[in-house]
Amino acid sequence: MNNMQTNRTIFPTSNSKLMHLLAKSILMVLFFGIAISVNSQPTKIRKQKNQTFQIPKDYLREPDIIPEYWISSYEDVNAFLKKNVHKGKLEVIGKSAGGRSIYAVFYGKARQGNGTSTFSGALGFGDVGVYRGPDHNKIVYMGLTGVHGCEFEGIVGNVNLISVIETGKDLQGKEWPEITAAVAKLDRLILIPIMNPDGRVRIPLRMEVYRGSNDNVHQFLNTGGNAEGKQTGWPMIKEFIPLDFSKPGFPGGYPNDAGVNLQHDNFMGNPQPETKILFELTEREKPDLILNMHTGATYISVLSSYMEAALKPAYDTLYRYINTELTLKGLKKTTDLKIEAVSKSVPGSMGCYLDGLLNLHCGVLSVVIESPSHGFNWPDKAGKVNYFSPDQLINGQLICHQEAMRFLVESGGRANWTPEKKRK
């Protein structure tokens, strides 16, 4: 991992029951969120068999007060879903590389019937409707979060979105009538709060402590590093996929338990279980639009991956919807809509990763949203550190979902974004 020097601790294979119970107790404390005292010794986090990862204990501090609306851990999210999903249907859509359940919530009725061609064939024919089937005109929205394990904002936003759909209010008690109205007009809504449970469980934190403009802790937890706290960093973490977990160092929350960053999977070779699950789901559901929520920006940003050129006008309009509302709510750098709400991206300018492959797979417009972090705030180009509180960040998440769904409803979805042939 980038030539990092790291000490590695292995629990001894002793016959002593006392040592076995002591090791087990330490692991239980770490993984179930019991308070961790701060000292100079790194904390041991189990990885595989008898091996351990090491994280400086200061990196595992949580705030003294965690807001009730901040539900982010794998255990807490799943408990919330099981208790609070009534209007929708909660399903386990598959297992991660580490054997953990991946949950999704479904609202509305799925598409019925099959098309007569593949997606590639439909493009060649000139009408994507022959792939999507008899209910091509239905509009289907998907909210995807938790692809990276230490990017909490999207997960918390997804949980609060489910609360809005189920009760009309987020977990702060705020009503979102625009979301409620948009959801009522969608034919199908699919929400996946934690797509990479392995990476999420590897980060035994519910919420990071705010550390000003110092991003070292967040980057360490997300991209990995050594026992002394030196981060691997971005994009260096992408040099080795899959990561070799037997080597010294902490791999961070990016990869699953097979060491693979799902945004950069071996899509056309031997994809990971999580990717297969997502591809099977999107093949079946054929969503029009996916918001893939991440953390790693100075301001909330809408980013493009590879996409069909024919989808660029739809992307530009979505960009305008989301960024206009964020600007009006004071969550962008300026108040000038000509600066903030006009897309200047070129299709594929951000490279080809999961979202681009989803487009090639089933024709969906899949868009990355990058949020600022609750744990730090980068200074902007002028050197100003712009602090966004956790409640502002969650409001921003819900605004993104609100405007994306409103765009989908008002535009009519993929059936209206690209031309169709007149079929006999």
Q: pLDDT digits over 67-99, tens only?
A: 999 999 999 999 999 999 999 999 999 999 999
| Residues facing residue 56 across a β-bridge | 42
Q: pLDDT digits over 162-183, tens only?
A: 999 999 999 999 999 999 999 9
- pLDDT at res. 8: 29
Any idea where the domains of the chain sit in the sequence? 17-65+204-239, 74-199+261-417
Q: pLDDT digits over 391-404, tens only?
A: 999 999 999 999 99
CA distance 204 to 232: 19
Closest to 242 in 3D by CA, of 254, 225, 233, 227: 254
Q: At what angle do helices 390-411 and 177-185 cross, to 10 degrees?
A: 30
**Is 43 buried (19+), middle (13-18) or exposed (0-12) by CB count in 10 A?**
buried
Which CATH class name applies to 74-199+261-417? alpha beta
- Each residue of 86-122: b (16+ CB within 10 Å) or e? eebeeeebbebbbebebbbbbbbeebeeebebebeeb
Residues 42/227, Cβ–Cβ less than 8 Å = yes
Residues 247/259, Cβ–Cβ less than 8 Å = no
Per-residue confidence band for 51, with pLDDT thresholds at 50, 70 and 90: low
CA distance 218 to 37: 19
- pLDDT at res. 23: 40
- Each residue of 185-218: b (16+ CB within 10 Å) or e? ebbbbbbbbbbbbbbbbbbbbbbbbebeeebebb
Q: pLDDT digits over 317-350, tens only?
A: 999 999 999 999 999 999 999 999 999 876 555 6
- For residues 410-418, average pLDDT: 94
Work out the percent of the chain whose per-residue pLDDT is above 70.
Answer: 85
Closest to 79 in 3D by CA, of 165, 221, 164, 193: 193
Alpha-carbon dihedral 409, 412, 417, 422, rounded to 10 degrees: 170
Q: What is the pTM of this model?
A: 0.87
SS (H, E, C) the chain: CCCCCCCCCECCCCCCHHHHHHHHHHHHHHHCCCCCCCCCCEEEEECCCCEEEEEEHHHHCCCCCCCCCCCCCHHHHHHHHHHHCCCCEEEEEEECCCCCEEEEEEEECCCCCCCCCCHHHHHHHCCCHHHHCCCCCCCEEEEECCCCCCCHHHHHHHHHHHHHHHHCECCCCCECHHHHHHHHHCCEEEEECCCCHHHHHCCCCCCCCCCCCCCHHHHHHHHCECCCCCECCCCHHHHCCCCCCCCCCECCCCECCCCCEHHHCCCCCCCCHHHHHHHHHHHHHCCCEEEEEEECCCCCEEECCCCCHHHHHHHHHHHHHHHHHHHHCCCCCCCCHHHHCCCCCCCCCCCCCHHHHHHHHHCCEEEEEEECCCCCCCECCCCCECCCCHHHHHHHHHHHHHHHHHHHHHHCCHHHHCCCCCCC
CA distances from 159 to 25, 31, 101, 148, 305 (A): 30, 21, 17, 16, 25
- pLDDT at res. 6: 32
- pLDDT at res. 37: 32
| Residues facing residue 295 across a β-bridge | 371
CA distance 232 to 1: 8
| Residues facing residue 107 across a β-bridge | 189
- For residues 90-113, average pLDDT: 97
Residues 401/367, Cβ–Cβ less than 8 Å = no
| Residues facing residue 366 across a β-bridge | 290
Per-residue confidence band for 421, with pLDDT thresholds at 50, 70 and 90: low
Look at 36-45, 87-96, 187-196 and tell me which has the smallest mean pLDDT: 36-45
